[in-house]
Amino acid sequence: MDKSAKKKIEALREELHRHNYLYYVKAQPEITDYEFDMKMKELEKLEKEYPEFADKNSPSKRVGGDITKEFATVVHKRQMLSLSNTYSEGEMRDWDQRVRKGLGEDFLYTCELKYDGVAISLTYENGFLTRAVTRGDGVQGDDVTTNVKTINSIPLKLRSDDYPKEFEIRGEILMFRQPFEEFNTERAKQGLQPFANPRNATAGSLKLQESSAVAKRPLECFLYSLAGEELPSVSHYENLQKARSWGFKIPDYIGRCENINQVWDFISEWKEARPDLPFEIDGVVVKVDNHKQQEKLGYTAKSPRWAIAYKFPAEQASTILESIAYQVGRIGTVTPVANLKPVQLAGTTVKRASLHNADIIEQLDVRLGDTVLVEKGGDIIPKIVGVNKQKRPENAQKVSFIEQCPECGTKLVRYEGEAAHYCPNDQGCPPQIKGKIEHFISRKAMDILSLGEGKVELLFDREKIHNAADLYDLSFDDLIGIEKTYRDELTGKTRTVQFKEKTVKNILKGIEDSRDVPFERVLYALGIRYVGQTVARKLATHFQRMDKLMQASKDELLDVNDVGERIAESVLEYFSDSGNQKMVNKLQEKGLNMAVKEKKKQTDNKLGQKRFIASGKLQNFNREEIKEAVHNNGGIYVSAISPKLDYLIAGENIGPKKLEKAKKLSIPVISEEDFLNMIQ
């Protein structure tokens, strides 16, 4: 019976893999959705009855269900370098001349569309997907394998049997325009904030902790680059065609060109056809086709010499400026926002656009009722870039920048040398207070993520909290049953959001866990102007305790490396405010870390006299600190890569030559997080 069940399970898996491929890659389904669902249910039932035949690459795993608390950092076997950009035909032809000079022989180009999504690296071993890693900083990225397995257009098991034993294929995960609009509409119905664009929605989806939620997102994947030791061909183009036969979704929007004139024809064709595509692109990528010729051309410090990205000019649209609203940010910055007659731009409906500041309004001479030209800066943030004065109505009203805060009525100020206006009422202006609390709970600060999705605003509006310190007074009874009823603009229906038991417990646990956050992150969480993560870490390291920092003079602050006049004055201003002093003291009373924990001297031999060296920018250490950390934990810090080295710690922007040398010497390359795990 077991043998029969195993045979049936394997047959169903193979059949469902095939139907997935036909539906999501070939767009040529052979059975109805109902028939597919029935086969899937049969497989799920058999897998439940016979768990001994479990397979992590079964089609049933597409629905997700695993929880990922943290995404492991993985160093790329081959760096995912960014491409050099160009915006003109002349620059393209100059690049072509450099390539011709560098090669001195005949060659071909491959042209592909530049998809506007999230870059991904997929590793396959023996025909099965084993790892999916985001681009990250190009040297290392996040392991999102569990989430990527829910994307139907990515094969879990390859077709045919002529693929390399191990290889890497890279591509772009993205959302098509129509499914994105439908997804955003559904979010709005549920009372959730819509995403600004398909790229943001894609990036947010890949980092969800629950893979079953990722499975519900309309994600697609185009593959466009193959890497490995035993590739079928030296031709990039031919490798992609071969990968298509293995089951990968290789886009049809690809061409091979003999010269720069043909390349420019390809670019011109797709620049014209861009609005008709069902997904977002922002340019064309041009590559030398032959891998051996790519190696001959080599790399600069940041990008390959054998490839370039031609970026299309930002899309523009014309519409009517109906009114101007003013938004107040976390540090009091007042930003004018234009309310527009809705217009289609780069695949989305644009209703609002930034006007930046008073100077921009003056330079544009923009008036209410004007016909304005709207552009998506970097194809992401809409902004007004021009005014059609020939269409200006006779009664068009000149815009004067407001003099008082739209939220609290305080007279605005404009500091010398700055373009923005500010509301100075940082202790009493509601959006500033809410913004500071939202910064306080953010991932890189106190990491109380259970308070996301507008919960801070709800608690503030219900007067449960007035500043960040009040979070630590909240109890179960304070939170349970809090609800908000609102009217959905799309449907006209009302909806109620309620704090239920599970939500409340998660919030309180997140607050309790934040008491263990180290001092430098507590300092960053305070939101002192100009004090980012790096400066906060340096201030914490220098002064060691919050009380010493609060009492520091300007000269003492200027003694800290990278602290200049502006930062020193901002720190002094923050701690001279009685309201800030009171909040910091309350945070200390609530048990937050207000001092650098004394570093433990070497009490054991955690690193076992292993030899380390670090390269690239580290997030938690400067050069002296990483040396000290290695020494204090029983390791040896060396000055160069040699056969005697045990580990290379790879930071951001690590040089490719060092990685290559470590690889040749078979030296393990670890991330900063890996090193921290070793010593903790």
The lowest-confidence range among 171-175, 486-490, 608-612 is: 486-490
Write the secondary structure of 510-546 as one string of H (helix), E (strand) and C (coil): HHHHHHHCCHHHHHHHCCCCCCCHHHHHHHHHHHCEH
Residues 622-632 have a mean pLDDT of 82
Residues 256 and 403 in one domain: no
Tens of pLDDT, residues 254-283: 999 999 999 999 999 998 888 888 998 989
Give, as one character, the DSSP assignment of residue 14.
H
Residues 524 and 511 in one domain: no
Q: Is the pLDDT of residue 489 over 50?
A: no
Give, as one character, the DSSP assignment of residue 23.
I
599 and 632 in contact (C-beta within 8 Å)? yes
Q: Which residues contact 257 (CB under 8 A, 6 or more apart)?
A: 108, 109, 110, 111, 263, 266
Q: What's 670's domain CATH number?
A: 3.40.50.10190
pLDDT of residue 488: 45
Residues 510 and 524 in one domain: no
pLDDT of residue 497: 65
R_g (Cα) of the chain, nearest Å: 28
Residues 476-501 have a mean pLDDT of 70
| Long-range contacts, stretch 624-627, CB < 8 angstroms, 24+ apart | 625/541
Residues 188-209 have a mean pLDDT of 79
Give ∠ CA 259-226-674 in degrees, rounded to 5: 130
Distance CA 329, CA 315 (A): 28
Residues 36 and 179 in one domain: no
The lowest-confidence range among 59-68, 369-378, 519-528 is: 59-68
| Long-range contacts, stretch 645-648, CB < 8 angstroms, 24+ apart | 645/611, 645/612, 645/613, 646/610, 646/611, 646/612, 647/610, 647/611, 647/612, 647/613, 647/675, 648/612, 648/613, 648/614, 648/615
pLDDT of residue 39: 85
pLDDT of residue 583: 94
Residue 279 in domain: yes
Give per-residue burial for 230-262: e unless 16+ CB within 10 Å, then b. ebbeebbbbbbebbbebbbbbbebbbebeebee
pLDDT of residue 482: 86
Enter the tokens of residue 534.
Answer: 């790096």
Characterize the bridge pairing of strands 73-75 and 281-288.
unpaired
pLDDT of residue 346: 66
Distance CA 648, CA 245 (A): 38
Distances (CA, A) of 29 to 22, 158, 219, 415, 621: 5, 18, 19, 63, 54
Q: Is the pLDDT of residue 384 over 80?
A: yes
Residues 220 and 113 in one domain: yes
Residues 507 and 548 in one domain: no
Dump strand ranges (E) for 212-315.
Answer: 220-227, 254-257, 281-288, 307-311
- The single-letter code of the amino acid at 353 is A
Q: Which among 61, 69, 101, 114 is annotated as catalytic?
A: 114
Q: Which of 63, 92, 112 is the last residue of a domain?
A: 63
Tens of pLDDT, residues 540-564: 999 999 999 999 999 999 988 778 8
Distances (CA, A) of 406 to 61, 188, 333, 353, 409: 51, 26, 12, 18, 6
Q: What's 20's domain CATH number?
A: 1.10.287.610
Residue 582 in domain: yes
The lowest-confidence range among 27-31, 144-148, 513-517, 583-587 is: 27-31
Residue 458 in domain: yes
pLDDT band for position 122 (cuts 50, 70, 90):
very high
Residue 202 in domain: yes
Residues 60-74 have a mean pLDDT of 73
Give per-residue burial for 123-159: e unless 16+ CB within 10 Å, then b. bbeebebebbbbbbbbbbbbbbbbbbbbbbbbbbbbb
Q: Is the pLDDT of residue 111 over 50?
A: yes
Residue 70 in domain: no
pLDDT of residue 38: 83
Distances (CA, A) of 600 to 516, 610, 634: 17, 19, 12
pLDDT of residue 345: 79
The lowest-confidence range among 183-197, 402-416, 572-586 is: 183-197
Residues 91 and 20 in one domain: no
Distances (CA, A) of 625 to 403, 543, 616, 618, 622: 48, 15, 14, 10, 5
Q: Which residue has the tokens 């263990």?
A: 516
Q: Which of 422, 447, 462 is the last residue of a domain?
A: 422
Residue 400 in domain: yes
78 and 669 in contact (C-beta within 8 Å)? no
Count of structural domains, the chain: 6
376 and 198 in contact (C-beta within 8 Å)? no
Q: What's 455's domain CATH number?
A: 1.10.150.20
- The single-letter code of the amino acid at 469 is A
Residues 95 and 180 in one domain: yes
pLDDT of residue 151: 93
Residues 568 and 503 in one domain: no
Distance CA 101, CA 496 (A): 67
Q: What's 215's domain CATH number?
A: 3.30.470.30
Residues 145-155 have a mean pLDDT of 93
Residue 597 in domain: no
pLDDT band for position 492 (cuts 50, 70, 90):
very low
pLDDT of residue 208: 86
The phi, psi pair for 112, rounded to 5°, reads -140, 155
First to last CA, the chain: 50
Residues 79 and 162 in one domain: yes
pLDDT of residue 494: 59
Residue 154 in domain: yes
Q: Check residue 43 and give left, alpha or beta (phi > 0: left; psi -120 to 50: alpha).
A: alpha
The phi, psi pair for 358, rounded to 5°, reads -65, -35
Q: Which residues contact 166 (CB under 8 A, 6 or more apart)?
A: 123, 124, 125, 126, 228, 229
114 is catalytic: yes
Q: Which of 284, 311, 338 is the last residue of a domain?
A: 311
Q: Name the average pLDDT for the chain.
A: 87
3-state secondary structure of 65: coil
pLDDT of residue 256: 94
Give, as one character, the DSSP assignment of residue 279.
S
Looking only at Cα atoms, what is the longest distance across the chain? 86
The phi, psi pair for 106, rounded to 5°, reads -70, 150
pLDDT of residue 158: 93
Sign of CA dihedral 528, 531, 537, 538: negative
Residues 132 and 216 in one domain: yes
pLDDT of residue 247: 93
Q: Is the pLDDT of residue 504 over 60?
A: yes
Domain range for 350: 316-422
Strand partners, 404: 411
Residues 382 and 455 in one domain: no
